[in-house]
């Protein structure tokens, strides 16, 4: 779970790749750097992430069977909401309980 600002969007094959500036990592099981690529396994624009906007993203790390592909994947059932101070407060409170 992290707060990020969408810098760019690009269609790559049957997927969408977002370049994201990681603002605040809240809870993560793998290291995040200041800029990451977040992949969405479709090209339909779901979820709708706009360049320049900030979001609260809950994604997972995807490593393929051969361990040659390691990326951040925002699945269809993932969480992507526009970032607000309220979202920030809710995530920080939940992190204390989880």
- Here the CATH number for the domain that contains residue 48 is 2.40.50.120
How far is 48 from 55, CA to CA, in rounded Å? 11
Domain that holds residue 42: 2-96
Split at pLDDT 50, 70, 90, the class of 24 is confident
Q: What is the pLDDT of residues 37-54, one digit of tens each?
A: 999 998 887 888 999 999
How distant, in Å, are the alpha carbons of 38, 53, 95 from that of 46? 13, 15, 27
Model confidence, pTM: 0.82
The DSSP element (H or E) to which 94 belongs, if any, is helix 85-97
Task: Yes or no: say if 92 and 26 are a contact pair by the CB < 8 Å rule.
Answer: yes
Starting at the earlier edge strand, list the strands of the sheet with 70-73. 60-63, 70-73, 35-40, 15-25, 2-12, 54-58, 79-82
Name the domain count of the chain: 1
| Range 46-74 average pLDDT | 84
Predicted local confidence at residue 44, as pLDDT: 84
pLDDT of 98 > 70? The answer is no
């Amino acid at each position: 779970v992290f707060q990020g600002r969408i810098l760019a969007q690009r269609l790559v094959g049957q997927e969408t790749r977002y370049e994201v500036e990681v603002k605040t990592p809240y809870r993560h099981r793998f290291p995040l750097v200041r800029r990451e690529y977040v992949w969405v396994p479709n090209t339909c624009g779901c979820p709708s992430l706009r360049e320049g906007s900030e979001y609260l993203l809950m994604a997972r790390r995807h490593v393929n069977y051969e361990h040659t592909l390691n990326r951040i994947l925002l699945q269809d059932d993932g969480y992507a909401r526009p970032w607000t101070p309220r979202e920030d407060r809710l995530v920080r409170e939940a992190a204390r309980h989880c």
